[in-house]
Each structure stands twice: as structure tokens, then as C-alpha cells.
Structure 1
Amino acid sequence: MKSIVLGARLAQGLTAAIVLGLSSIALKRQHFGAEPAATGFSAFVGGLGILAAAVGIIAIFVHAVPDIVVTVADVFTVVCFVIAGIILSVKMSGLNCANDFTKDYDLRHAKAWALFDGGENEYGDIFCPNAAGCDDYSFLRPRCNAITADAAFLWFTFLASIAAAVIAWRLRKRGTTSRSSAA
């Protein structure tokens, strides 16, 4: 039974690491203005997911970890992932990364663009990594794909966290200081 819990915790940790990585890349690409709060929260939640997975893995092997510690970590992680997933999904709603990027498209999807456009300078221009070839905004397509993948992996990690929490809860030993997540 330990291997089932360990597999669920590893899946939780791996998907959380992907969320942290994608969110960090999006934050790193912000050149003008403050980083979007939704992306920063996604990075925080990715780190939290890694921490919760680590606590769950440690609880498999260390008898002194109380069930309540793992349960609280799991509940807090699941709640944070659902909040981050909803926020990012709402901001990305209606955005299609396959569409041509134009200034008109920017105006209609301003909330989503703010997540990956690199910010606007004092003249209202978005950051362009190379001076030539920035008129068509095609350089934003990979950034759009990355933030879309970030939103998707938030939901994958949410599901992995729920699965890990449910499996750990079902297999826990009864008692106040028993090994959580191990049967």
C-alpha cells in the first residue's frame, strides 16, 4: 500500500514542479511593471504543492508525523490549487493561442495578455525581445502556450493532490500520532 501512496505523492510533486517552473518562466518574462498577481500566486501554489508532496512522502516513512499535519497540508494545498486554477482559467477565458496576435486582439483579451506580454513601458508598448519582427506579435505565441499549459497543469495538480489526499486518508492508521499515508 505504501507504493500506491508514494506514487500518488510523486505525481503530485511532479505536476506541482511543472506548475512552479511554468509560472516562474512567465514571471521571468515580465520586463515592464509589476508581475501579474495570478502568475505569482500560481508559482506560490506550485511550491506549496511540492512541499505538501514532500510532507506526504516523509509521513509514509516517519512514524512521528501526525495525521492532522498531513491532512491540513493536503486540504490547504487542494484549496489553493482550485483557487489558482479558477483565477488563471477566468483570466485566460476566450483566449486562443492559435489566433493571430494583433493590437485589436490585445484589446479584447487584455486580462489574458497581461499574463504573458512582458508588461507595457511608459509609451504603452509591450516588451519585444528583438527589435525586428515584433510588429505581428508572433513572439507572444510561445508565451501564450506556456501560460495555457500552466493553467492546465494547475488543474492536473489539483486532481493529483485530491487523489493523494484521498488515498492517504483512506490508508492512514487510526490514532493521533500514527504514520499518515501508510498502511
Structure 2
Amino acid sequence: MFSRLATAFSNAVDALAPPLPLHEEFLWHWTAIMKFYTDRNSNSKKPIELTGLAGRLEEMSKILEQEESELGTENMGPCMEHFLQHKMLEQMSALSRADTPPGIKKCVLVFTTRLLSNSKQALLPQMGIYTAVKKLIGLCGEVLAAPTEREEVCWSCSPPIFSFYNKIACLIPVP
């Protein structure tokens, strides 16, 4: 009963107010994430599932994918440009270091894997992505028997991160 009412309400809102452009929706999600961390009343001890942050990161990922599929691989869209210029992934990796709220580290690892795996653009050479991935690699395995250990291993073995390791290995001179 409640789900039908919620669906009807959602449809009515969509009919009255057109959806936001991708760039505005992307910024809205990011602003909401940052507001969570700046709000003094937010309870950072709650699990990530109760905060809505995981859903916002997932929506941001979907928006970046949708933008790329609409524009193609030749050009970066405004969302991706904003993402890179404002070094959002570096900010996410800094947030995941404290793992507050519990589970944000896992969500950032999933976001990064999805971003690097699904993008047809060469994102890894971008400085904002490269340094963030390097920080995330350093975070993985930092805490022994961490609750996110399984995700850390999966993330470390994912194809984009594995290729990252290979590129670094090629740059190191062999004695």
C-alpha cells in the first residue's frame, strides 16, 4: 500500500517538475555527500546503509556512465570535467581513509572500480584519478582483518587496478 502511494507521489512530482540536467543532478548528489560531512548533527557512527551516501555515489556513477554514453568517447562531458577539475576522487579517498561512516571505504572502492571499468576514456593517466588510486591502493591492507578486506582484495585485483600495477612496474628500472 505504502509503495503504491510513494510511486504515485513520485510520478506526480516527475510530471510537475522536469528532471534536472545531468550536470546539476551530479552536483546535487556531491553537495549532499559533502553536506553530510560538514553537518554537525550528522551521526557518523551509523552504518553507510542508513545514511544514503552509498546511493548517492551509485547515482553519481550512473550519471557519469550516462553522460559518456550520450557524448561518446571523444569528449568529456561537464560532469566528468567537474569531477576531474575538483579532484572528487581524491576527496573520496580521503573520506575513505577514516571509514566514517562505517562502510564508506567499500562504497568508494566500488565507485572507483565501476568508474575505471566502465569508462571508455583513459582516466587513469589523469592526475586527479592517478593520485587517488595510488592513495586507495595504500589504504588497502592498511588495517589487518578489516571489515572491508574482501572488497579491498577484489578491488586490488580488478582489471583497471591490475593494469595500474603493470604500468608502475614498467617504470621501475630493474637493477
Question: What is the TM-score normalised by the length of structure 1?
Answer: 0.30
Point out the structure with max Rg over C-alpha.
1
RCO higher in 1 or 2 (8 Å CA, sep ≥ 6)?
1
